[in-house]
């Protein structure tokens, strides 16, 4: 009974800290994920004998770091230009809503259309789009803080082993902890790498499709699809619906909207159900039910950002819990088939 009370008190305390400390924790979590990516790239560079022999560690950290920063800066510049175009053009297309409602009313002759017409303000696509743009702008504004955290993590990295050896006197304890950290790094790095590749393929294919269809700001929608693809289950659906709705507003033509829905939806289905399973397999070992619960929990706690990182956090929890007798049962319940 006493242990149960301690558990609930600890759990509530952690949730409160996560909720009130999100402005500090979210940039730190993204910095950690960025560090995982850089370590993975560094490991790949070490496989080249010349680089491994003659390049110092700081240079092998600097190369991928600079590449990532330049890439992010380039993407941010392109996105800013696309968002500007999108913001200016959206007001020009609002009149197309009336055109589509009239078309539906003439074709079906049902009172339901009049109901939607009189209550069209209940769904404000512009307001929702504005919130998405604000979220992306907030993420960009936190880039400097994320890079600062990331820099200090890199500086501290060389002293991690020394500190851990000082804390854990026994070699067995240190080796056990080192194995846990290595497993976390391997799983998270693999997930981020494969998910980034799959999301990039989805986003790039969607960009090509939207560009040839003639949808405004195709890069913005492609990046949104790329980003939302990291959200399990519902991300790909949301990433498809938004460009479809905007296409309807832009052209005032249902055929164009159906074309975007068919093409982008087919890309999502093919990549998500054919390519992604072949690349990732069941390497994450996370129960689908747990994935949905984690998505809802982190989404309620940290919004869209929480949804993006819900899977990596769950994977880390399973790995950590599986190495301790008192929490191994929790790891089993969180896993896909009960094997940890």
pLDDT tens-digit readout, 235-287: 888 888 888 888 887 877 778 888 999 999 999 888 888 887 777 655 567 77
pLDDT at residue 114, as a whole number: 55
Asked which of 7-11, 72-76, 127-131, 225-229 is least confident by mean pLDDT, the reply is 127-131
What mean pLDDT do residues 283-311 have? 81
Check pLDDT > 90 for residue 108: no
Residue 311: which of 35, 19, 29 has the closest Cα?
29
Residue 94 has pLDDT above 80, yes or no: no
Specify the higher pLDDT residue, 53 or 98. 53
Using the structure block, give the residue that is written with the tokens 């009370």: 5
Which three-class secondary structure state does DSSP give residue 251?
A: helix
DSSP 8-state assignment for residue 122 = G
Place of tokens 């809503």: 97
CB atoms within 10 A of CB 154: 19
What pLDDT is attached to residue 49? Answer: 82
pLDDT at 152 exceeding the cut of 80: yes
Per-state percent for the chain, helix, strand, coil, to nearest 5: 85, 0, 15
Instruction: Tell me the pLDDT of the chain averaged across its residues.
Output: 77
Checking if the pLDDT of 4 tops 80, the result is no
CB 209 within 8 A of CB 264: yes
* Nearest CA-CA partner of 100 in 263, 257, 241, 260: 257
Query: Distance between alpha carbon 32 and the CA centroid of its chain, in Å?
Result: 14
Taking the C-alpha atoms of residue 138 and residue 111, their distance in angstroms, rounded to an integer, is 42
HSE (side-chain half, CA atoms, 13 Å) at 131: 7
CB-CB contact of 230 with 308 (8 Å): yes
The closest alpha carbon to 314, from 297, 301, 326, belongs to: 297
Average pLDDT estimate for 208-224: 87
Supply the pLDDT for residue 134.
Answer: 63
Q: Where are the domains of the chain?
A: 1-158
Contact 147, 69 (CB under 8 A): yes
Q: What is the pLDDT of residue 247?
A: 83
Q: Is the pLDDT of residue 69 over 50?
A: yes
Give the tens place of pLDDT for each residue, 26-66: 888 888 888 888 887 888 888 888 877 778 877 888 888 88
In this predicted model, which residue has the larger pLDDT, 175 or 218?
218
Give the pLDDT confidence score for residue 207 in this predicted structure: 92
What pLDDT was estimated at residue 120? 47
Q: Which residues contact 176 (CB under 8 A, 6 or more apart)?
A: 323
Interval 133-148 mean pLDDT:
70
SS3 327: coil
Q: pLDDT tens digits for 330-340?
A: 888 888 777 76
Q: Give the model's confidence band at 102: pLDDT under 50 very low, under 70 low, under 90 confident, else very high.
A: low
The winner for highest mean pLDDT among 35-39, 152-156, 206-210 is 206-210
Burial of 145 (0-12, 13-18, 19+ CB in 10 A): middle
The pLDDT value recorded for residue 112 is: 46
């Amino acid at each position: 009974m006493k242990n149960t009370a301690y558990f609930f008190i600890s759990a509530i305390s952690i949730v409160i800290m996560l909720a009130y400390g999100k402005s500090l924790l979210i940039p730190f979590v993204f910095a950690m994920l960025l560090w995982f990516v850089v370590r993975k790239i560094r490991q790949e560079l070490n496989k080249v004998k010349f680089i491994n022999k003659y390049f110092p560690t700081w240079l092998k950290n600097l190369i991928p770091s600079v590449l990532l920063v330049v890439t992010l800066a380039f993407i941010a510049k392109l996105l800013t230009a696309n968002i500007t175009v999108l913001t200016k053009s959206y007001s020009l297309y609002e009149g197309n809503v009336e055109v589509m409602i009239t078309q539906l009313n003439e074709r079906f002759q049902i009172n339901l259309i009049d109901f939607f017409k009189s209550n069209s303000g209940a769904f404000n696509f512009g307001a929702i789009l504005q919130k998405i743009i604000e979220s992306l702008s907030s993420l960009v504004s936190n880039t400097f803080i994320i890079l600062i955290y990331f820099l200090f993590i890199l500086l501290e990295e060389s002293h991690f082993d020394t500190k851990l050896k000082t804390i854990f006197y026994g070699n067995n304890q240190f080796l056990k902890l080192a194995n846990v950290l290595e497993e976390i790094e391997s799983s998270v790095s693999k997930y981020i790498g494969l998910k980034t590749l799959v999301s990039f393929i989805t986003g790039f294919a969607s960009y090509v499709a939207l560009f040839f269809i003639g949808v405004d700001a195709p890069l913005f929608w492609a990046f949104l699809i790329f980003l939302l693809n990291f959200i399990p289950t519902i991300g790909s659906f949301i990433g498809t619906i938004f460009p479809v709705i905007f296409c309807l507003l832009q052209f005032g033509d249902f055929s164009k909207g159906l074309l975007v829905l068919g093409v982008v939806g087919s890309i999502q289905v093919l990549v998500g159900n054919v390519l992604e399973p072949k690349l990732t397999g069941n390497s994450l070992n996370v129960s689908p039910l747990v994935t949905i619960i984690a998505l809802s929990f982190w989404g309620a706690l940290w919004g869209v950002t929480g949804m993006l990182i819900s899977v990596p956090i769950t994977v880390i929890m399973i790995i950590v819990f599986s190495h301790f007798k008192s929490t191994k049962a929790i790891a089993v319940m969180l896993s896909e088939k009960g094997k940890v």
